[in-house]
């Protein structure tokens, strides 16, 4: 397994990796940590608006994927955590503009709270071509 902590995302002191790649053969899976719409420099949530938070969250996911060479089209599964299920329609609109059909499998869960007062968070699994060192 390879662990990845992106230098382009907020540098949290919490004990976690932004992503972990697990390769069975040449093909592997990438598991992301929970990602929110957090400003990479200040560490604060990008906005109080759920659409803006969702956009920033997906932008952060994109930064992470670019850093490890994974494409959003290779998403297998996502989990969306939201603090108010009434926000799901707005989240779906933003999410549907970032991911394209065919969409990954997805679960959406309402939770009591998210880090830093965020209103939405995502974690995901992606299929990735993993370098094995063999040519």
pLDDT of residue 132: 43
pLDDT of residue 133: 42
CB proximity list for 88: less than 8 A, separation 6 or greater = 82, 108
Average pLDDT, whole number, for the chain? 90
How many other CB atoms are found less than 10 A from the CB of residue 65? 21
CB proximity list for 14: less than 8 A, separation 6 or greater = none
What three-state secondary structure class fits 23? strand
pLDDT digits (tens, 9 = 90+) for 16-33: 888 888 775 557 899 999
The domains located in the chain, with CATH, are 2-129 (3.30.1330.40)
Phi, psi for residue 13 in degrees, rounded to 5: -95, 0
């Amino acid at each position: 397994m390879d662990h990845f902590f992106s230098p382009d995302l907020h540098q949290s002191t919490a004990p976690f990796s932004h992503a972990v790649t697990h390769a069975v053969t040449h093909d592997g899976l990438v598991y992301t940590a929970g990602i929110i719409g957090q400003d990479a420099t200040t560490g604060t949530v990008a906005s109080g608006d759920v659409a803006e938070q969702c956009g920033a969250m997906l932008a952060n996911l994109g930064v992470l994927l670019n850093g490890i060479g994974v494409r959003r089209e290779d998403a297998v599964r996502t989990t969306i955590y939201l603090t108010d299920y009434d926000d799901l329609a707005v989240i779906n609109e933003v999410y549907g503009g970032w991911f394209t059909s065919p969409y990954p499998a997805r679960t959406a869960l309402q939770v009591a709270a998210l880090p830093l007062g965020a209103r939405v968070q995502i974690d995901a699994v992606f299929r990735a071509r993993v370098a094995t060192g063999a040519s």
